[in-house]
Structure 1
């Protein structure tokens, strides 16, 4: 039986960055569930399906094969045999994933892969409902958050460092809207599990957050 660490929290809270660093520190397998939903979002966008077309989304999800592989210690995400890791972090893909991930059939498509990994290996997973739904018996649960302003500034800095034109207010608006969708969706809404430790990273450095979570683990 694997040792499981679940990190939940809103968009832009730094879950993926922190989870990867904790995984490296502790020797866990990092499973980016958000990347798996984003992989399906790439599939939907490629097929030109609107997020509102639930029937079309469900049909497309059935034919998509999403897999995670580790190549030279780095997680790679494959969609129908193609490595799409470099395409997962665009705003368009993120928004499509946010709008389609609440669909039960989309979630079911990926759920067993996530749980089977957790049964077999020591894993750390981050997402919106890891501790409340996917791994309710996780050994460690963390709810990682930060203020909207902090999250928007981090995203703005990340994009500008890559030379991409962006608007801080638009990013903040997008984050607020995604929070609203994620927290109020019918299926597995974003919320803090009762037994999760709250970590607000608004005024913390990345090493401080990593150290806080590492101390919670065995």
Structure 2
């Protein structure tokens, strides 16, 4: 039996991968999981409980009780939540606790779109369609700064750029599931693209992958 058609969209913060992933989910009528929200939720909920984000066992305890239905809290989309997510994501115990939840989502009949850092390398290395979406740190900082400013957060571009660089280093150098493209992922640099151009390029990449999948 042919496995579900899964699309993985990995990449660094503010690269446009979330927009790309949600667009693909709409085009193909598939459910989408923003795996980054899982880690943001763990970080925020750990902080609310007064826990130390560097305490792997405590953070893993939060992760073990997390469900997809809890991801709607707007607090999970703040700048502080992103920083907290990057800190708890380095713990192998947290990643292990969230792995089955992500795998369960990916195994849904008909397929799914998975957005994150390690979806194509660790969670679904067998996915038929894999994208790695990137953009320059400066472009990503500008995008995130505008997004946060629109949400009412008082931050400067320089602060956001420093956040981006720090998170890239932390996410790319962690021992467990570091952020990197899967060997067979198609790279999509959105630095000079509009949202519409990125969406069209992503759709064409997935169409090619889907044709191969259907022919297999």
Give the superposition deviation at 1:141. 0.7
Deviating 4+ runs (over 6 angstroms)? none
TM-score by length of 2: 0.89
Give the superposition deviation at 1:211. 1.0
Within 5 A, what are the aligned runs for 1:193-208? 193-208=182-197
**1:52-96, CA deviations, whole angstroms, 9 ceiling, x for partnerless residues?**
22233233434x23224xxxxxxxxx1xxxx64311111111111
**1:5-29, CA deviations, whole angstroms, 9 ceiling, x for partnerless residues?**
0111111112112111111111111
Distance in 2 between residues matched to 1:52 and 1:37, nearest whole Å: 13
CA RMSD, aligned part only?
1.5
Q: Gaps (5+ residues) in structure 1? A: 69-77
Q: What does residue 97 of structure 2 align with? A: 109
Contact 2:60 2:97 in 1 (8 A): no
What is the SS of the residue equivalent to 2:77? coil
Answering whether residue 212 of structure 2 is matched by residue 211 of structure 1, we say no
Contact 1:3 1:118 in 2 (8 A): no
Q: What is the number of residues matched between the two proteins?
A: 204
Contact 1:16 1:126 in 2 (8 A): yes
Q: Gaps (5+ residues) in structure 2? A: 211-216
Q: What does residue 131 of structure 1 align with? A: 120
**1:142-181, CA deviations, whole angstroms, 9 ceiling, x for partnerless residues?**
1100000000001111122233321100100010000000
Q: What does residue 51 of structure 1 align with? A: 53
Structure number with the higher strand fraction is 1
Distance in 1 between residues matched to 2:27 and 2:102, nearest whole Å: 21
Distance in 2 between residues matched to 1:131 and 1:98, nearest whole Å: 19
